Amino acid sequence: MTKMRQTRQRAAILELLRSLKSHPTAAELHALVRKRLPRISLGTVYRNLDALARQGRIRKLVSGRAEARFDGDLRGHYHVRCTDCGRVGDVFGLELPNVDSAEPGRASGFEILGCRLEFIGVCPECRRRRTSPHDPASGTETDARVPGGLKP
Amino acid sequence: MTKMRQTRQRAAILELLRSLKSHPTAAELHALVRKRLPRISLGTVYRNLDALARQGRIRKLVSGRAEARFDGDLRGHYHVRCTDCGRVGDVFGLELPNVDSAEPGRASGFEILGCRLEFIGVCPECRRRRTSPHDPASGTETDARVPGGLKP
DNA sequence: CTCTCTGCAAATAATTTGCAACCCC
DNA sequence: GGGGTTGCAAATTATTTGCAGAGAG
C-alpha cells in the first residue's frame, strides 16, 4: 500500500459521510456527493469508500459481495466466517448471556425482533497459508479484537 | 403462500444440505446436486433454497443481495437493520458483557479475531406502514425472538 | 386436470476493473 | 514530473425472473 493522496472527491465523501446520521449505501452517497461534485463517478465512490474503510477512517457495515451460505443443521449454534476465504465454520456448545431487547429498542426507535452474532476469524487452512505479511483490516466492520475477550 | 410440492430437486437439495457439515454457497450446492440430477439448473437451486429457508427447514446465513452500508461515526456502537427496508439504525449506549474468544476458537478450529453483532428489527417508518399481515420469517438467519431477552 | 415447479436464458443489481486523461505531492 | 486517482464504460458476480413445457397431487 503506497502513499494515499488527498483528493477533492475523497475529502468530499469523507466529510459528507461524517455529517450524516444515516448509513447510506454507495449509491445513495454517490447521489449526495454529486450535488457538490457533479462529475464524480460511482466507481470513484466505491474506490474511496473501500480505501477509507481500509484505513479505518470510516466503517463498512457488512454484506457487500459476499455470497449467501446455507446451513441444513437447525440445532442452535454460532458461526465463524473466515476473513480470508469466506468459508463458514460452526461453533457448537457456546452459551452466551441473553441480551435485553428493551434497551436497543429504546436507543434506536426500532421494534427489535432479534439479533445476530457471528465470529470473525481465520480458518485452519488459511492460517496455514499465512506466511506473508497479509494486509491488516479488510475494512469490513469487525468490532473489537480484544485478546481473550471480544466485545460483541 | 400456497401448497408447496415435493419435487425430486427440492428433496435432493434438502437431503444434500443436511448431509453436509459445511455451509455451501448456492453455486457450490448446485455443483454437488448436479451429480445426482445433472439437469438441475442454478435457478432452481436458488428458488428452492429460498423456499426452504422461508419455511424454516434450512437456514440462510446472511448477506446475499444486501448492499453494503457505510458509517462515518467511529464511536463504538451497535446497529439495527430493518427487515423490511434494509435501513440501518444506531444503538448507542448499550453495554454488553464481553465474550470469551477461547471457547469459539476451540469449538471451531478457527483463529478468532473478533465478532460482530447486529440487531434485527423494524424501523419506525416501516412499522407505521405495517397494516397488512406481513410474511413471517424472511428466511434469513435471525437467531432468537425471545420477547425481552435476545439470544445473541 | 390443475397448478406449482423446472430448465433455460435473459435481466437485475451491486460492485469491480481496464484505460487514458488528470492532478496531488 | 511521476504515480496515485478519476471518469467512463465495459466486465464480473450473485441472484432474480419471464416463459413454455413438465410433473406432482
Q: Which residue has the cell 447510506?
A: A24
Q: Per the CB < 8 Å rule, is A96 touching B152? A: yes
For residue A63, give the chain B residue with the closest CA.
B63
Q: Give CATH for domain A75-135.
A: 3.30.1490.190
Report chain B residues whose CB lies below 8 A from the CB of A147: 101
Here the contacts of A132-135 (C-beta below 8 Å, separation 24 or greater) are: A134/A84, A135/A1, A135/A54
Asked if A75 reaches chain B (Cβ–Cβ under 8 Å), the answer is: no
Contact between the CB of A68 and strand D at under 7 Å: yes
Proportion of chain B above pLDDT 70, given as a percent: 85
Task: Dump pLDDT digits (tens) for A47-75.
Answer: 999 999 999 999 999 765 678 999 999 99
Percent of chain B's residues with pLDDT above 90: 67
Asked if the Cβ–Cβ distance from B118 to A116 is below 8 Å, we say yes
- For the stretch B68-85, pLDDT in tens is 999 999 999 999 999 888
CA distances from B44 to A61, B50, B99 (A): 30, 10, 40
CB atoms inside a 10 Å sphere around CB B67: 14
Q: Does residue A143 register a pLDDT over 90?
A: no
Euclidean distance between CA atoms B51 and A71, whole angstroms? 14
Cα dist from B27 to A8, A144, B99, whole Å:
41, 32, 34
Residue nearest to nucleotide C12 (CA to C1'): B65
Query: Which is more confidently placed, A140 or A38?
Result: A38
Q: How far apart are CA B110 and CA A121, in angstroms?
A: 6
Q: Is the pLDDT of residue B139 over 90?
A: no
**Partner residue facing B68 (CB), from A60, A71, A72:** A60
**pLDDT one-digit tens code per residue, B40-55:** 999 999 999 999 999 9
Which band of pLDDT confidence, cut at 50, 70 and 90, is reported for residue A122?
very high
The CATH architecture of the domain made up of A1-72 is Orthogonal Bundle (1.10)
Q: Tell me, yes or no, if A7 comes closer than 8 A to chain B by beta carbon.
A: no
pLDDT band at A129 (very low <50, low <70, confident <90, very high): confident
Question: Is A113 a residue whose pLDDT tops 60?
Answer: yes
Give dist(CA A42, CA A44) in Å, integer: 5
pLDDT of residue A89: 95
Q: Is pLDDT at B132 greater than 90 in this prediction? A: no
**Cα distances (angstroms) measured from residue A20 to each of A17, B6, B67, B133:** 5, 49, 18, 33
Question: What average pLDDT does this structure show over B13-40?
Answer: 96
Show me where the domains of chain A are located.
Answer: 1-72, 75-135
Q: Three-state DSSP class for A21?
A: coil
Q: Check pLDDT > 70 for residue A137.
A: no
